Amino acid sequence: MGEASGGTAYRSQASTLILYALPALPLAALALPLFVIVPTFYSEVMGLPVAAVGGVLFAIRILDAASDPMFGWLADRWNAFGCRRRGFFLASIPLTACAAFMLFWPPQTAGLGYLVLWGGLLSLGFTWSSLPYTAWGAELSNDYVERTRIAAFREGSTLLGTLTAISLPFVVGSTVTVGVEGLKTIAVLVAVLLPITGLAAFVFVPEPVNRSTRDVNIVQSLLLMTKNRPFLRLIAAFLLNGFANAVPATLFLYFVSDRLGAPDWRGAFLLLYFACAVLGVPLAVKAARRWSKHKAWSGAMLATCSIFAVSGFLGDGDLVAFGAICVCTGVLLAFDLVLPPSMQADVIDNHTAVSGSQRSGMYFAAWALATKLSLAAAVGAVFPLLSVFGFDPAQERSSPDALKGLSMLYAWAPIVPKLAAIGLMWGFPIDRVAQRELIGRI
């Protein structure tokens, strides 16, 4: 891979990208249980008080958000044994794998202290692993098109990991007792696969070139980030689009159960949605190569608005129509996953060209924080609005007005922030030509 030795890599070997992408599978497989399954598991199966579990997990979320800039800064400072990105990523794996195993396979005597300890350590480990890993991918090539291909391999593996985590309850069964076995299976999967795939990536995927020509401290880096206009524009669009995606994601289970009257189909629709996202990954790469990344992403967001709006008119039993919507929007989800990280690598070039300091870790820390903020904002906005409409999931059957409010929030509320994101992205200043000019300056 020519980039590792200082040249320009226009097309990496597929085997190299597969080895780079493989750790994303166990990382994604642990992310879903950490944020979705663990709260229910520790309250219902382990018998801990619901309020106490909620308080602990809220504190862990705050710790998680606070750790992003710290690990982003460390990822840019680490240079032990000449392995800036690879070494920092490899050093994180023992903590992440061990904490995942302990949290997902607790002893019968586990209490709140156990949840605090291993939940907090897994949160730190996951952030530590993710930031140098994504920064590593962003720096593997300085070519505009190749960066999209690298992101596609990684995000495709992430989707496969998500599908694995969703599928396991169906494979081993969905009862509470067997569901525990499903979480234990994920514990073993992560504990075994993450060290193996992480070590393989460390050995066989090259260390990217560090293009820094001078050292910049953390305060100077943050000030330069606030002056990087393409970055501010991109992260604002990402935040808006992330919020738009998080609203229906938060309401998905309620919509299928109450609006469509099909609670038994929730898992099947989720599987269909993410499976189609896997199929959409190569389409995203081809579209970006043909029309540029920002135009391809804008077009995908616009198509998602048009297709998703139809779900607001669905009612009881409209399963075929909703399945078709899951197929189409699932394919378009791949554009949301693949193109923004590739564009992030381009805006980092703008920072490097101006400052002489390559700070991918700090930029991806800001990216991770924006993701968490969009999810938190969606939850904070959606549930009060559901209450205003009179929707109560505890009721056996909601009123027509409550169901209409649920449909409006699920299908139409996300359109406004998506249109705002499209407005920011349509005339984005860094295209193929501009990015090549930045590389020339660097």
Instruction: Flag whether pLDDT at 395 surpasses 80.
Output: no
Mean pLDDT value across residues 79-93: 85
Residue listed under structure tokens 């923004």: 340
Q: pLDDT (tens digit, 9 = 90+) per residue, 155-181?
A: 999 999 999 888 876 565 444 444 567
Instruction: Flag whether pLDDT at 50 surpasses 90.
Output: no
Say if residues 295 and 173 touch (Cβ distance below 8 Å).
no
Confidence of residue 442 (pLDDT cuts 50, 70, 90): confident
Q: pLDDT (tens digit, 9 = 90+) per residue, 298-321?
A: 999 999 999 999 999 999 999 999
Instruction: Flag whether pLDDT at 4 surpasses 60.
Output: no
Confidence of residue 94 (pLDDT cuts 50, 70, 90): very high
User: What are φ and ψ of residue 216, in 5° steps?
Assistant: -125, 130
Instruction: Flag whether pLDDT at 5 surpasses 70.
Output: no
Lowest mean pLDDT among 58-62, 158-162, 180-184, 251-255: 180-184
Instruction: Flag whether pLDDT at 9 surpasses 50.
Output: no
Q: Mean pLDDT over all residues of the chain? A: 88
Domains and CATH numbers, the chain: 1-210 (1.20.1250.20), 215-442 (1.20.1250.20)
Instruction: Flag whether pLDDT at 149 surpasses 60.
Output: yes
Instruction: Flag whether pLDDT at 10 surpasses 70.
Output: no
Say if residues 166 and 373 touch (Cβ distance below 8 Å).
no
Mean pLDDT value across residues 391-402: 78
Calpha distance 75→293 (Å, rounded): 27
Calpha distance 281→73 (Å, rounded): 30
Residue listed under structure tokens 């998680």: 64
Instruction: Flag whether pLDDT at 46 surpasses 50.
Output: yes
Confidence of residue 151 (pLDDT cuts 50, 70, 90): very high
The residue that leads in pLDDT, 88 or 266, is 88
Q: pLDDT (tens digit, 9 = 90+) per residue, 198-234?
A: 999 999 999 888 887 777 777 777 888 889 999 999 9
Residue 57 burial (CB count, 10 A): 21
pTM of the model: 0.89
The pair of structure tokens assigned to 259 is 């609006």
User: What are φ and ψ of residue 326, in 5° steps?
Assistant: -60, -40
Lowest mean pLDDT among 26-35, 93-102, 317-326: 26-35
The pair of structure tokens assigned to 402 is 């409550």
Say if residues 155 and 338 touch (Cβ distance below 8 Å).
yes
Instruction: Flag whether pLDDT at 114 surpasses 90.
Output: yes
Confidence of residue 59 (pLDDT cuts 50, 70, 90): confident
Calpha distance 84→134 (Å, rounded): 13
As a whole-number percent, the residues of the chain with pLDDT over 90 amount to 52
Q: pLDDT (tens digit, 9 = 90+) per residue, 333-379?
A: 999 999 999 999 999 999 888 888 888 989 999 999 888 888 888 87
Calpha distance 397→384 (Å, rounded): 19
The pair of structure tokens assigned to 228 is 């990087």
